[in-house]
Amino acid sequence: MSTALVTGATSGIGLSFAHQLAERGHDVVLVARDRARLENVSDDLRAKYGVGTEILVADLSDRAETGKVAERLADQARPVDLLVNNAGYALKKRFLDNDIADEEAFFDVLGRAVLVLSHAAARAMRERGHGAIVNVSSVAGQITSGTYSAIKSFVTVFTEGLSAELAGTGVTATALLPGFTRTEFHDRAKLNMSRLPKFMWLDADRLVTDCLDDVAKGRVVSVPGPQYKAIVAGLRFAPRSLVRSRARTVHRPKARQG
């Protein structure tokens, strides 16, 4: 029986990955900050699917705690066959309105942790000659909308480069680029999404199923949903000046009062 490790495993896309991997017979290592929620998910997976579970309480903005997760991935006595780097969140304010400490922690969770954990997992998997890495990026990485977009752009390009480096080793790397997905993500960031058209929303379970199918096919980039496939394809050919002008409209400073 193989083992998968999922970060951000207690909600949203990460929780869906945990359930679907357990349903397919994988033992699961669950990583998140909240022990109580981890224990609840762990109990649920064992009861529903009869798989082995392990919990790792870790705040990926803390380098020491990220290092502990990396050590687990590098442990050849307890091999991890699939890594899902999913942990993430959003900052409501614009870059210049945030404290730099908040931006640094944000980068550590969404960017540095992906780098560190992918490195540990890929080296261990390469030595064994098999394995897969899924790095959850975003369609937002194709545009210029603050540090979230910038970090997700890094995740996508990093994963593409890692995939090329792993070619012929039996290990694959896939970047998942979801669009707007019905999870706790936007509520936690206190973002008002009421104006978004219904057809733009993705279902987390469906996108995870599609992603795992893409991983099995060895695809490097997985874009769920026909609407987002079209958007990503269009953005590849759109002039960057047009993309930037749209970002300037979104982030235009508010007029001062008085």
Catalytic site residues? 148
Separation CA 183–CA 194 (nearest Å): 14
Write the secondary structure of 108-134 as one string of H (helix), E (strand) and C (coil). HHHHHHHHHHHHHHHHHHHHHCCEEEE
Distance CA 19, CA 45 (A): 7
Q: Which of 169, 171, 198, 166 lies closest to 182 in space, CA to CA?
A: 198
The answer to whether the beta carbons of residues 123 and 74 sit under 8 Å apart is: yes
Distance (Å, whole) CA 74 – CA 71: 5
